[in-house]
Chain A
Amino acid sequence: MKWNRKHLLGLEDLSQEEIEYILKTAESFKDISIRPIKKVPALRGKTIATVFFEPSTRTRTSFELAAKRLSADTLSITAIASSVVKGESLKDTVRNLEALKVDCMIVRHECSGVPHLISRYLEASVVNAGDGSHEHPTQALVDLFTILEKKKTLEGLKVVIVGDILHSRVARSNIFGMTKLRMNVQVVGPRTLIPKEIERLGVSVSHRLDDVIPEADVLMFLRIQSERQKKNLFPSLREYSENYGMSIQRLKNTKPDCLIMHPGPINRGIELASEVADGPQSVILDQVTNGLAVRMAVLFLVAGGGE
């Protein structure tokens, strides 16, 4: 197939074929990181800016390293260091960046829809690195890539996403991607953290983790996002952990080859017990490694394409 998209704003509007194409391309990029020279000249002469209005370590460094491995020049803008704190509008900030001949902007913002908005008035390519509670497409692609790498297939697998579905852009992007690739997705969490009518997205809902663990091929735990919760949506972290945290005891009820995933950063002892996070079923560090390959593939496709 031919890649024809200038931006990557979410998985909702990508076709199954496009998602599979990115995953296939990422496979080729994975080997570059184990070569003696971990760099290819594919994006030489291009400039890629990470524009992060929200804190991030792993996504920003992963994108930056991906750009560098493709020989692009990179610049990094964070909210605290940008003119936004001096009162400049978002639009002016990104247009000024574009005036510096930036070819691709990787944007993270606390408000849903910002990358879409920016993409409308820029010539540069825009990649959504997380917008509010909306989407985080590259993280979902990383998750799909990691599952595919371990399980060799995606279709028909049962994935259970556990935790704060309401605030999670990772969950939303994963649901869009996984249902398009014909995986069975179930979301599990307290009633207050599951959006109403989420079944419309093609997923099933449960509020009891213990009921669904034995059937799961993949258990994906989400971080409790205290920064997005304005009111108390569950009684206590201790109670949350007892009901929805992955303990060693619960791990015994999983299939032996069930994957344990977490997009990070982990609240150890809340979403995952340390023994589980560091245990043999955990693929959390594989997710980080694969993040580089997937982001290289995404940058290559959106920024390396025809003028």
Chain B
Amino acid sequence: MEKSKLMDAQTLSRTLMRISHEILERNKDLSNLVLIGIQTRGTHLAKRIQKNLSTIEGIKIPMGYLDISLYRDDLNQKGAEIKVQKTEISFDLNGKNIILVDDVLFSGRTIRAAIDELMDFGRPERIQLAVLIDRGHRELPIRPDYVGKNVPTSLKEEIQLFLTEVDGKDEVELR
């Protein structure tokens, strides 16, 4: 299938820096702000945002990561394919202002599962959503607060995100 490059390493880095600034603009009080990345690539993006926030503001925002496998609504169809990873949130979520970070927003079902799982850890004050790419086709009423790039896609197309931490390069492709 033909592919086109949506972001190179530099664009990706700038996009994450812009999202980091937007997070700071909207959240004046950083004392109860936490970052939660959705496994696997959302975690790496959250780490980069955490680093950006530290560079800009000089403070380290607490970070956790979430594996949503056990909260999926399609286990019956995909059970055999699902690989359960770790969820690790080492702080209390009650009253926290959470920035949930994922790579690509599509149907919204992953985010629904993530919110359900977060609620099992406590009652956050607010959950905001940051995604690198919003490709549309929502099946649930979920809207991101921070978007790196809106990419209207057809259902036949695929967005592929490569990150240095797992893939050896930073790049976003449309296939």
Which residues of chain A have a CB within 8 Å of any CB of chain B?
A: 2-4, 25, 27-29, 31-32, 35-37, 39-42, 70, 297, 300, 304-307
Stretch at the interface among B2-10, B29-37, B40-48, B69-77: B69-77
Q: How far is the CA of A305 from the CA of B79 in the complex (A)?
A: 4
Q: How far is the CA of A154 from the CA of B46 in the complex (A)?
A: 34
Partner of B71, one of A4, A28, A40, A305: A40
B150 within 8 A of A: no
B121 touches A35 (CB 8 A): yes
B85 within 8 A of A: yes
Q: How far is the CA of A35 from the CA of B64 in the complex (A)?
A: 14
Q: How far is the CA of A3 from the CA of B122 in the complex (A)?
A: 32
B84 touches A300 (CB 8 A): yes
B88 touches A304 (CB 8 A): no
- Listed from nearest, the 9 A-B pairs whose CB atoms lie closest are A305-B79, A40-B70, A37-B120, A42-B70, A28-B84, A305-B80, A304-B79, A306-B80, A306-B79
A28 touches B86 (CB 8 A): yes
Supply 15 further A-B pairs (C-beta < 8 A) apart from A28-B67, A41-B71, A42-B71: A2-B81, A25-B83, A27-B86, A28-B84, A28-B85, A29-B84, A31-B88, A36-B121, A39-B120, A40-B70, A40-B117, A41-B70, A300-B84, A304-B82, A305-B80
B15 within 8 A of A: no
B160 within 8 A of A: no
B13 within 8 A of A: no
Beyond A31-B87, A31-B88, A42-B70, whether A36 also contacts B77 by CB under 8 A is: no
Find chain A residues with CB under 8 A from B84 CB. 25, 28-29, 297, 300
Chain B residues 51-95 with CB under 8 Å of chain A are: 67, 69-71, 75-88
Find chain B residues with CB under 8 A from A42 CB. 69-71, 75
- Across the interface, name the chain B residue whose C-beta is closest to A29: B84
B93 to chain A, nearest CB (A): 9
Find chain A residues with CB under 8 A from B88 CB. 31
Beyond A28-B85, A36-B121, A36-B122, whether A3 also contacts B80 by CB under 8 A is: yes
Beyond A42-B70, A304-B75, A305-B79, whether A37 also contacts B121 by CB under 8 A is: yes
A31 touches B79 (CB 8 A): no
Q: How far is the CA of A244 from the CA of B78 in the complex (A)?
A: 49
Q: Interface extent on B, as a size class?
A: 20 to 34
Find chain B residues with CB under 8 A from A40 CB. 70-71, 117, 120
B76 touches A306 (CB 8 A): yes
Find chain A residues with CB under 8 A from B117 CB. 40
A47 to chain B, nearest CB (A): 14
- Across the interface, name the chain A residue whose C-beta is closest to B39: A28
A-B contact pairs, 20 of them (CB 8 A): A2-B80, A28-B69, A28-B85, A28-B87, A29-B84, A31-B86, A31-B88, A35-B120, A35-B121, A36-B121, A36-B122, A37-B120, A37-B121, A40-B70, A40-B120, A42-B70, A297-B84, A305-B80, A306-B78, A307-B77
Find chain B residues with CB under 8 A from A297 CB. 84
Q: How far is the CA of A31 from the CA of B117 in the complex (A)?
A: 13
B76 touches A307 (CB 8 A): yes
A306 touches B87 (CB 8 A): no
- Across the interface, name the chain A residue whose C-beta is closest to B81: A2
Q: How far is the CA of A41 from the CA of B115 in the complex (A)?
A: 13
Most buried by A among B71, B80, B116: B80
A33 to chain B, nearest CB (A): 13
Contact with A along B114-155 (1 / 0, CB 8 A): 001100111000000000000000000000000000000000
B73 to chain A, nearest CB (A): 9
Find chain B residues with CB under 8 A from A70 CB. 70
Most buried by A among B67, B79, B87, B122: B79
